[in-house]
Copies of this chain bind each other. A is one copy, B any other.
Amino acid sequence: MKASKIMKTKKKTKKAPAKKKEVRVSGSTVKRLSKYYRTLNELIKEDVEHVSSEELAKLEGVTSAQIRKDFSFFGNFGRRGLGYNTHDLKNHIAIILGLNRHWNVAIIGAGNIGSALIDYAEFKAHGFHIKQVYDSDPAKIGKTLKSLVVKDINVIESEIQRENIEIAIMAIPAQVAQAVSERISKAGVKGILNFAPKRLHVPNHVVVRQENTAMELETLSYFIMNQKDHLK
C-alpha cells in the first residue's frame, strides 16, 4: 500500500543560500524551460541583452510568477531591479537541460517519419547528433538515406555500444516496439523518444517519452468541437 509519511515543520536551513536545495521539478517546468530556451535564442538574435520575467511572460503566454518560480528551482539567475541577462539565462537553461553536451542519437525505422527526422536541423543545433539509422527491411538496409547508411536492426546491440548511442528515436510499427525497446535498453540506451503508438515497458534506468501525432489531432478535434480553448 502506501508508507505513511509524517509531516512536521521542516527544519530551516541556516541562511547560506550556497547550494540550492534539492526539489522535485515537474515535467511541465522542464517543458517550459525548453520553450524559454527557444525564445531566448530569438531575443539574442535580436541583440536583446536583458529581459524581465514580465516581458518573457508576455512572449510565452504564461505569468511572470510562473517564470520566476520555474527558474527558482535551479538557482538565482536574475538580478533584482534589472531582470535576466539573456546570454547567461540561455546558458543556465542549456546546462539544466543538458544541451551543452553532445548526445549520440540513433533513429530506428527508416520509414516516413524516421527519414524526416534524420536531417532535422534543430536537433543538431541543440546537441543531438543523429549517428545511425536502422531498419529491418532488406530493401532499405545498406542504402544511403540523407548521408547515413541504413543499418540492419539485427546488429543493433553491438552497433549501439560501439558508437555509444544514448538516445534512440523509435519510428517503427507498434507491434515490434516493445521488443526493440527491450533490446536497446539492454544495449545501454538511456532514453527513448517513441513514435510508435504503444506504451513501452522498460527498465527503470531508461526514460521514455511518447510522441503521437494522431493523438494530438484527436485532442485538437475535441477542442474544435468544444470551444474550451486556452489550455496547454
Number of contact residues on A: which range applies? 35 or more
Shortest Cβ gap from A72 to chain B (Å)? 17
Contact digits for A217-232, partner B, Cβ 8 Å, 1 yes 0 no:
1111111111111011
Q: Is B224 a contact partner of A98 (Cβ separation < 8 A)? A: yes
Does A35 reach chain B (CB closer than 8 Å)?
yes
Q: Is B190 a contact partner of A224 (Cβ separation < 8 A)? A: yes
Q: Is B209 a contact partner of A219 (Cβ separation < 8 A)? A: yes
Does A9 reach chain B (CB closer than 8 Å)?
no
Interface locus among A10-18, A83-91, A118-126, A149-157:
A118-126
Residues of B contacting A97 in the complex (Cβ-Cβ under 8 angstroms): 218-219, 221-222
Does A71 reach chain B (CB closer than 8 Å)?
no
Chain A positions 116-156 with a Cβ under 8 Å from a chain B Cβ: 116-117, 119-120, 122-123, 126-128
Residues of B contacting A228 in the complex (Cβ-Cβ under 8 angstroms): 24-25
Q: Is B99 a contact partner of A221 (Cβ separation < 8 A)? A: yes
Residues of B contacting A60 in the complex (Cβ-Cβ under 8 angstroms): 199
Residues of B contacting A48 in the complex (Cβ-Cβ under 8 angstroms): none
Residue ranges of A at the interface with B (Cβ–Cβ < 8 Å) = 24-27, 30-31, 33-35, 37-38, 59-61, 96-99, 103, 105, 112-113, 115-117, 119-120, 122-123, 126-128, 166-167, 169, 190-193, 197, 199, 204-205, 207, 209, 211, 213-229, 231-232
